[in-house]
Amino acid sequence: MPVRVYVGVGSNIDARRNIRLGIDALRKRFGQLIISPVYESEPVGCSGKNFHNLVIGFNSNETWEEIAAVLHEIEAGFGRNQVGKLKSSRTLDLDLLLYDDLVIDDGHVQLPRPDVLQYAFVLRPLAEIAGDYVHPVLGRNYRELWQTFDRRGQQLWPVDLDTE
């Protein structure tokens, strides 16, 4: 039976182009996508151009490990090097945020990904496309989590980007 998966998408190198192409790659691989609005935000923990971020949801019969491997393959196709600086400019960043209600914290992988609760550029678009879904650890839905999120220092600007 398929599970619902949510992936964070970001770029700050030729962001409009790379996000569109990244969405195309995800659509080709996973089929029908639920796509949030795109937001611009300042880089966190690194210097460089502002990032464009969104969240994409889809249903899948694959394991979280298989999906994570596919996301890394797609990133590599955009020239993303998985080794090196974690906080640097990116052509395309694809992060597995949620895999249904699975909770993992094994020292290497965390699901739900902590970014969901830490960054406005992840939580806001997630709340917009999965507002009624419940965080499997906190037991609160993403709409409520966004409404109570401390947004100080994390400005977002809507980006008009055709994602179809």
User: Which CATH number belongs to the domain containing residue 79 in this structure?
Assistant: 3.30.70.560
The closest of 25, 44, 45 to 33, measured between CA atoms, is: 25
Instruction: Examine the pLDDT at 82 and tell me if it is beyond 70.
Output: no
pLDDT digits (tens, 9 = 90+) for 36-52: 999 999 988 777 899 99
- The pLDDT of residue 164: 75
Structural domain count of the chain: 1
- Domain residues for the domain of 70 are 3-159
In this structure, of 75-79, 121-125, 141-145, the range with the lowest mean pLDDT score is: 75-79
Q: How confident is the model at residue 83 (pLDDT cuts 50, 70, 90)?
A: very low
Q: What is the dihedral of CA 123, 159, 8, 144, to 10 degrees?
A: 20
**128 lies in some domain:** yes
Helix then strand then coil, in percent of the chain rounded to 5, is: 30, 25, 45
**164 lies in some domain:** no
pLDDT digits (tens, 9 = 90+) for 147-161: 999 999 899 999 998
pTM above 0.85, yes or no: yes
**58 lies in some domain:** yes
pLDDT digits (tens, 9 = 90+) for 70-79: 999 999 999 8
**132 lies in some domain:** yes
**17 lies in some domain:** yes
